[in-house]
Structure formats: structure tokens, C-alpha cells
Amino acid sequence: MQKVDVIIIGAGAAGLMCAATAGYRGKQVLVLDNAKKAGRKILISGGGKCNFTNTKVDPSNFLCQNPHFVKSALARYPSSQFIELVERHGVAFEQRKHGQLFALNSAKDILDVLLTECDWAGVQIQLKTEITKINKLDQGFQLVTSAGEYQCDSLVVATGGLSMPKLGATPFGYKIAEQFGLKVLPTSAGLVPFTWHQGDKTLLEPLSGISMPVAVSSVSGVEFKEDMLLTHRGLSGPVMLQISSYWQAGEPIYINLLPELDVAATLNELREQQPKLSLKNALSRFLVKRFAETWLAQQKFADSPLNQISHSEWARLGQTLTRWPLLMNGTEGYRTAEVTLGGVDTNELSSKDMSTKKVAGLYFIGEVVDVSGWLGGFNFQWAWASGVACGLSE
Ligand code: FDA
């Protein structure tokens, strides 16, 4: 039986970051993972280029039942420190819009940074290992695994969320929390595309492939402005992924199709200048023609000349163009979601080092915790920051 200072379950973003940090502090660290490869989500992230952080990270970029929880770890390990780490390893990267940083060549470069750091810090990484039992000892923990038994003083759970089960996501972390009497908040898919209701699907499916800038808001009033993509199944694109994290089943989303225009003034002006112009042709000046046509039909607007549209229809047009209420059937779920909302209740954890208040030596970091970031590198930044906070724990 091997005994070490720290066992980390999960060789993903948070686990590897924590391992290197603790290793550099002289701790004997063993990382266990049931997968064949470390950091598989890093490899596929950001379309293979890993959006590894963001130049502007703020606590408001995160969803958590206690919005203050993330502040300490994010302040202690700001994105500038991860950028510095990436630069020190000579990894080429680029900044895209909204401060998003991506590896220039491959996400593998980012994983290699972490694996190299772990190597330099003397961390042992053991893959293909199933953990079958965890026992609390008077001092520390005993783990029974497919590769034998291990003991540690500190146990860090970094098993991630439920998104992308085909990449090995499991609810194991939540089960460990429950085993030790910790509260786990209900989980759901976040940063995920929406699916059409059957009625809308028939009409809107032919528009798949069209992308357009919109602003979309939730019932709770959160708004994002970005590109929307119509797909065969429903709505996707960055703006829809963002708002999905704030959407509750059964609620509508509200889409402003022309967020950059003063719609009422622009339409009034057009009507004055070209009174005989048909509504379809008028809208096609601002929207993709095929979309304008189908949208008018869906909203039951007659394709009349502008000067023949009644006062009430004119008002409805302005209102619906800027706040189109759309009821979506649901989301694509964990199969395609980038994150899991909910998880280990942050009230159970110290925001300083991610230790559990009830069980000495037990820690939870990364996505398994009830912290989810916006699209844009924020989820990795949480993985790095919570991993470092935990790795620095006494
Ligand atoms: P992570 O999921 O990385 O690691 C968990 C580890 O635990 C895995 O190695 C897994 O094998 C292991 N594990 C699970 N169950 C286990 C068990 N029972 N026993 C042992 N080991 C177990 N974020 C971002 O900021 N920028 C981006 O570009 C992207 N892109 C992106 C694309 C896609 C397709 C997805 C699905 C997700 C993203 N994300 C992202 C989100 C990001 O990948 C995610 O938030 C982090 O990887 C979370 O890091 P963790 O270390 O917490 O979990």
C-alpha cells in the first residue's frame, strides 16, 4: 500500500493545476484518474485550440449560488498568472474578441504545460484507475482502487461535471460529497444549444446554417449580445450558449433581432421614404432575406406595402423585432453541454482553499463545485484558480 501526502482524483484542468502547485510545495502528490488519458476536455476545448482564459475576469462572469464565493480564489490567481505560465513555456497564443485567449497551434500545448509542470513538481499521475471505495481514517483517507490501496492525508476531488459523458464524465465527485454528508445542489446542463418545439422546427429548420448578431435576454433579465446560429435541432452560437445557463425549463427567451438599430425610428423613416416597399423587402435590408421571410410568416405578419400596415401591426412589428419571445423545447443536455450547472454546495467549502468545513483534509475543486463560468475561458480560469487555492492549502 502506497502512502502519500495528497491524492487528487481527476487528472483534468483543476486536478493537474492543484497537483503541480502542491508538488512545488514539497508535498508528495498522486493523481488518480479512470481515463486512459489526462486532460481530455482540455484537448477538445475551444475547437481544439483551448480558450484557456480571458484577459478580463470578474466574479460576475460566474454562476454560483453564493456569488461571493469565487472572489478569493480568482483574486489570488488572476488570469495574468496563467498567461505568464503559458508564456514561460513558450506556447504561442492569440487574443480573440471579448478578451478570449486561445492556443495558436493546439490545445495540446496547454495540456503539455500542465503535464510538464506536474513532472517538474514531482507529481505522480496514474491513469486507468477505478476507485471503488473511500474510507475516512482517524488521520486522512484510504482509497481502494483497481490498482491497489492508497492512503493520503489530504484528498482532493477534481472529477469535473457531467457534460460530455462520452469523454468520461461521471457523477463520482457528487457521490463522494454525499458519502461525507455534504450538500450537492441539483445539476443541469449549461452552455448548451437549445432545441425547437416541434411546431417551430417544421418552419425554422430550413433556416439552419444562418448566423446573425442578436441580443438575447432571459426572464431574469440577464442579456448577452453575440452571434446566434440556427441549426437543424434549434438555436446555438455563442449568444445561445451563454443564455442557456440562465434559462429555466418552460421559460421563454427574448431575442432582439436588430440590437444595433433604433428599430422604430429606422422603420418609420423607411416607410416615409418608400411607402410602397413590401414588409419582406424592408426587413431584408437588415436581416438575411430567407430568415426575414420565414420570421414574418411565423409571426403572422402579412407581406403588405409599408404604408398599408395598420397602426397596431406597426407597433407589434417594432415590439417583436426587438423582443421576440421564443419558447424552446429544451436543451441538447449533457451530450453537448460545455459545463454543468450546480454541484457541491459552496456553503460546504472554504472559499480560501476549497477545503470542506465538515471533513478535515477533504477538498473539492473545479467544475464539480457549484461554480460555472460564462463562455470565454472562464471555466478554465476557475479550474486554475480553485486548483491553485487548494494546492496552496496548509
Ligand atoms: P475535467 O472534466 O477537466 O476533469 C475531470 C477529470 O476527472 C477527468 O480527467 C476525468 O477523467 C476524471 N474523472 C471523472 N470521473 C472519475 C472517476 N470516477 N474516477 C477517476 N477519475 C474521474 N472551458 C473554457 O474555459 N474554455 C474552453 O475553450 C472550453 N471548451 C470546452 C469545450 C467542450 C466541448 C467542453 C465539454 C468543455 C469546455 N470547457 C471550456 C469547459 C472546461 O473543459 C471545464 O470547465 C474544465 O475542464 C473543468 O475542469 P475540471 O478539472 O474541473 O474537470
46: closest CA among 388, 381, 392? 381
**Predicted pLDDT of residue 99:** 98
Parallel, antiparallel, or unpaired for β 148-157 and 2-9? parallel
State pLDDT tens for residues 216-243: 999 999 999 999 999 999 999 999 999 9
3-state DSSP: the chain helix, strand, coil percent, rounded to 5?
Answer: 40, 25, 35
DSSP 61: G
Q: Is a pLDDT exceeding 90 seen at residue 371?
A: yes
Parallel, antiparallel, or unpaired for β 51-54 and 362-364? unpaired
3-state secondary structure of 209: coil
Residue ranges lining ligand 1, Cβ < 6 Å? 9-15, 32-35, 41, 44-46, 50-51, 131, 158-160, 163-164, 168, 170, 172, 338-339, 366-367, 377-380, 383
**Predicted pLDDT of residue 168:** 86
* 87 CA → ligand 1 middle, Å: 23
Please answer whether residues 388 and 78 qualify as being in contact, where contact means their C-beta atoms are separated by less than 8 angstroms.
no
**Predicted pLDDT of residue 147:** 96
Instruction: Kindly give the residue spans of alpha helices, DSSP state H, lying in 102-151.
Output: 107-120
State pLDDT tens for residues 93-108: 999 999 999 999 999 9
- Protein residue with its CA nearest to atom 14 in ligand 1: 159
Best residue among 101, 159, 174 to mutate for probing ligand 1, ranked by most atoms within 8 Å of CB: 159
Rounded to 5 degrees, φ, ψ at 270 are: -65, -40
* 121 CA → ligand 1 middle, Å: 22
Q: pLDDT confidence of 261, banded at 50, 70, 90?
A: very high
**Predicted pLDDT of residue 284:** 96
ipTM entry: 0.99
Q: pLDDT confidence of 355, banded at 50, 70, 90?
A: very high
Residue 164 CA to residue 170 CA, distance in Å, equals 9
DSSP 34: S
Half-sphere exposure of 211 (CA within 13 A, CB side): 9
Residue 380 CA to residue 88 CA, distance in Å, equals 18
**Predicted pLDDT of residue 394:** 80
381: closest CA among 78, 44, 124, 174? 78
Q: Is a pLDDT exceeding 90 seen at residue 131?
A: yes
**Predicted pLDDT of residue 103:** 98
Average pLDDT over residues 62-88: 98
Atom of ligand 1 lying closest to residue 386 CA: 52
Q: Is a pLDDT exceeding 90 seen at residue 368?
A: yes
DSSP 355: B
Average pLDDT over residues 334-346: 97
* 163 CA → ligand 1 middle, Å: 8
* 160 CA → ligand 1 middle, Å: 5
Atom of ligand 1 lying closest to residue 129 CA: 20
Residue 60 CA to residue 76 CA, distance in Å, equals 16
* 297 CA → ligand 1 middle, Å: 42
Average pLDDT over residues 104-132: 98
User: Percent of the chain beyond pLDDT 90?
Assistant: 97
**Predicted pLDDT of residue 167:** 87
State pLDDT tens for residues 156-202: 999 999 999 988 899 999 999 999 999 999 999 999 999 999 889 99
**Predicted pLDDT of residue 172:** 98
Q: Is a pLDDT exceeding 90 seen at residue 372?
A: yes
State pLDDT tens for residues 77-89: 999 999 999 999 9
Q: Is a pLDDT exceeding 90 seen at residue 280?
A: yes
Structural element, H or E, at residue 204 = helix 198-204
Say which residues have a Cβ less than 8 Å from residue 139's Cβ, sequence separation at least 6: 153
CB neighbour class for 99 (10 Å; exposed up to 12, middle 13-18, buried from 19): middle
* 219 CA → ligand 1 middle, Å: 29
Residue 252 CA to residue 228 CA, distance in Å, equals 16
Strand order in the sheet with 93-95: 51-54, 100-103, 93-95
Average pLDDT over residues 24-51: 97
